[in-house]
Structure 1
Amino acid sequence: MLHPQARALIDLMAERGVPPTHTLAPPEARALYRDRRAYTQPAAPEVAEVRDLQAAGPHGDIPLRSYRPAGAAPDAVLPVLVYYHGGGWVIGDLDTHDTLCRELANGAGCAVVAVDYRLAPEHRFPAAVDDALAATRWVARHAAELRIDPARLAVGGDSAGGNLAAVVALAARDDTDGGGPLPIVFQLLIYPGVDMRRGHASHQTNGQGYVLTQDTITYFHDHYIDDPAHDADWRASPLLAAGHAGLPPALVITAGYDPLRDEGLDYARALSGAGSRVAHVCFERQIHGFITMGRVLDEANTAVALCAAELRRAFAAPAAR
């Protein structure tokens, strides 16, 4: 059964005539996504420090935002989560996920560096992947300046950002860009999109009526992917990578009323089947995108707390020291 709070949110959006994302041009969709966060997101918690930075990338500079948790000493060397926001590779930015990054920093007691990767259709696949990997390598190289421990570096993201986190973990394992070793100790994959072929059963069963629809998924896909052959590229579909052994431990979160539910589950199975440690938690009564909606969805706060606890555990593990 859909959570009553999720049902109330969906009904309110219909009552107020919130236009579906796929009916808007990308600039309009970005503005709506940014503006509506005030209705669903909790108040942004205070943190010890927020800094806007830039990382050099193959397509130009990449904006970043660095957070240090409340109570952290100025000179403390902290573990770090590099975070890639959701939004179908088309919408979303540092501001849309500012509250979540603050929550994760405080809850996990770690630094968080959010990545404002290039968006489609202005920058199509694999531009977002290139930016995500370049930014992560930049964070590791600038560890001293950022007061972070490069041996305790995690990657994470929601939806499209979960896709990018999974891809960065694969690329780092295989050193596909020739950047050298990039030890990643944990993957935080929040309802990730991992299979561009869009053939899993949940795309049909959850494809209408739960905010993220098949039409909106197609809109995002077609803005990001300009060649159907790219659907089979592991950098677009990490589920289709040749192998999933040797990857960092992961937490995979899915939602019961999400079109992406089944591919997230299959990714967790691929990781565990290859011998990687993975926990999969499905919030059975929730919709795609719920984790940023803690003002109106109580289970969002539960999910944030779970993510923070798993990050703390990963950063405390012997392999992360």
Structure 2
Amino acid sequence: MRPVNPDVRAMVDAALKAGVRPLQDSDPQTARENYLAARRLDQPPLAPVASVMDINDGIAPGVSLKIIRGVDTAEPLPCLLYFHGGGWTLGSSQSHEGICRSLALAARCCVISVDYRLAPENPFPAAVDDAIQALRYVVYHAGDLNIDRTSIALGGDSAGANLATVLALLGRDGHVPEAVYQLLFYPQVDLRMTASTFDTAAEGMLVSAATIRWFVDQYTPNPAARDDWRVSPSLALSLSGLPPAFVLTCGLDPLGEEGRQYAARLEEEGCAVTALHISDQAHGFLNLGGAIKAASGVLAYAGFMLSEEWRHTKNRLMQENTQ
């Protein structure tokens, strides 16, 4: 029997007692409304940050950005471009603002949270196209945004981590600006859903194998698309040359095994990896910090590792400029 964190157990029991319906039992719009309402209840109060600004125009149709600066300084800040989770179907910069504020404070950086078009109204490749446009916009407008264009990292949770991995691969191959780091929280990297523990790891959890299958069906209604590496980045022929990565996985998660395999492959192919596996946590717990107390500590650690990479990058660039 798999261990279950007491906070996770209490949250699941409370949801069952309240008769909360699984997300996949609703239509997408109702699921979106329920998801946002639940996040407001499950998150701690938003942490104070230096500034928050929204950009709703000029990027691409249906794409907007939330600019969160953790430090009050006139100096350009390093930047984390963050893609929210929610199975490409739910979520927004609003539902994930707590995560982004925590990272902005922990890493002393600017976090730019991306609202991209959602499925099923906008299936693959809409989210990938939007992610590309968001990255290009941020790099092009780095001066206006007061961020350091040489210190841009990519991050996200679940479906958002999928988009971050795709952008990292595109950047390595010269199709988009290259990133210096990947911050991947319980990433979905193989939409074929073939991991041996996919169906069993999250039995009794709020996000189950059935939930993930529903998300995948919304995003890729054509199953053949799941063989495209831009959908399933674990199918990329090579992961060599990618930037360093932080990969968080959970034991009570249908995606846990594929995430661990992806982290191991990154390391095998020469990528520096910080792999954190928490066997008694469930998918999505970072967005439930009001109920699951471990979330704050994990975000603080992830932010520290991100700031360390930026420190090393800055030192390397200074050495190159003095040679």
- Which range, TM-score by smaller chain? over 0.9
Identify the residue that residue 117 of structure 1 maps to in structure 2: 116
User: Aligned to 1:36, which of 35, 38, 47?
Assistant: 38
In the alignment, the residues of structure 2 paired with residue 138 and residue 34 of structure 1 have an alpha-carbon distance, to the nearest angstrom, of 27
Q: Please tell me whether the aligned partners of residues 55 and 135 of structure 1 are also in contact (alpha carbons under 8 angstroms).
A: no
SS at 1:33 equivalent = helix
C-alpha displacement of 1:215: 1.5
In the alignment, the residues of structure 1 paired with residue 108 and residue 84 of structure 2 have an alpha-carbon distance, to the nearest angstrom, of 20
User: Aligned to 2:301, which of 275, 281, 306?
Assistant: 306
C-alpha displacement of 1:226: 2.1
Identify the residue that residue 10 of structure 1 maps to in structure 2: 12
Unmatched 5+ stretches in structure 2? 318-323
In the alignment, the residues of structure 1 paired with residue 121 and residue 174 of structure 2 have an alpha-carbon distance, to the nearest angstrom, of 27
The amino acid of 1:99's aligned partner reads: G
State whether structure 2 residue 280 is matched by structure 1 residue 281.
no
In the alignment, the residues of structure 2 paired with residue 102 and residue 259 of structure 1 have an alpha-carbon distance, to the nearest angstrom, of 27
The amino acid of 2:312's aligned partner reads: A
Identify the residue that residue 63 of structure 2 maps to in structure 1: 62
State whether structure 2 residue 194 is matched by structure 1 residue 199.
yes
In the alignment, the residues of structure 1 paired with residue 261 and residue 225 of structure 2 have an alpha-carbon distance, to the nearest angstrom, of 20
C-alpha displacement of 1:268: 0.4
C-alpha displacement of 1:204: 2.0
Q: Deviations over 1:162-190 (max 9, x none)?
A: 101101100111134xx5xx131100000
Q: Deviations over 1:270-311 (max 9, x none)?
A: 111111111110111100000111111111111111111111
The amino acid of 2:219's aligned partner reads: Y
C-alpha displacement of 1:56: 4.4
Identify the residue that residue 49 of structure 1 maps to in structure 2: 51
In the alignment, the residues of structure 1 paired with residue 9 and residue 62 of structure 2 have an alpha-carbon distance, to the nearest angstrom, of 41
Q: Please tell me whether the aligned partners of residues 40 and 296 of structure 1 are also in contact (alpha carbons under 8 angstroms).
A: yes
The amino acid of 1:60's aligned partner reads: P
Identify the residue that residue 296 of structure 1 maps to in structure 2: 291
The amino acid of 1:23's aligned partner reads: D
Identify the residue that residue 21 of structure 1 maps to in structure 2: 23
Runs of 4 or more, structure 1, over 4 Å off, are none
Identify the residue that residue 79 of structure 2 maps to in structure 1: 80
C-alpha displacement of 1:207: 4.1
In the alignment, the residues of structure 2 paired with residue 99 and residue 46 of structure 1 have an alpha-carbon distance, to the nearest angstrom, of 10
The amino acid of 2:212's aligned partner reads: I
C-alpha displacement of 1:37: 1.2
Identify the residue that residue 149 of structure 1 maps to in structure 2: 148
The amino acid of 2:87's aligned partner reads: G
In the alignment, the residues of structure 2 paired with residue 56 and residue 241 of structure 1 have an alpha-carbon distance, to the nearest angstrom, of 32
Change (3 A) 1:95 1:318: closer
SS at 1:67 equivalent = strand
Q: Equivalent pairs: percent with the same residue?
A: 41
C-alpha displacement of 1:216: 1.1
Unmatched 5+ stretches in structure 1? none
In the alignment, the residues of structure 2 paired with residue 291 and residue 55 of structure 1 have an alpha-carbon distance, to the nearest angstrom, of 29
Q: 1:112-261 residue pairs with structure 2 within 5 A? A: 112-176=111-175, 179=176, 182-261=177-256
Q: Please tell me whether the aligned partners of residues 202 and 282 of structure 2 are also in contact (alpha carbons under 8 angstroms).
A: no
Identify the residue that residue 101 of structure 1 maps to in structure 2: 100
In the alignment, the residues of structure 2 paired with residue 192 and residue 53 of structure 1 have an alpha-carbon distance, to the nearest angstrom, of 26
Report the number of matched residues.
314
SS at 2:282 equivalent = coil
Q: How high is the TM-score relative to the length of structure 1?
A: 0.95
RMSD across aligned positions (CA): 1.3
Q: How high is the TM-score relative to the length of structure 2?
A: 0.94
State whether structure 2 residue 258 is matched by structure 1 residue 263.
yes
Q: Please tell me whether the aligned partners of residues 79 and 152 of structure 2 are also in contact (alpha carbons under 8 angstroms).
A: yes
SS at 1:210 equivalent = coil
C-alpha displacement of 1:55: 6.0
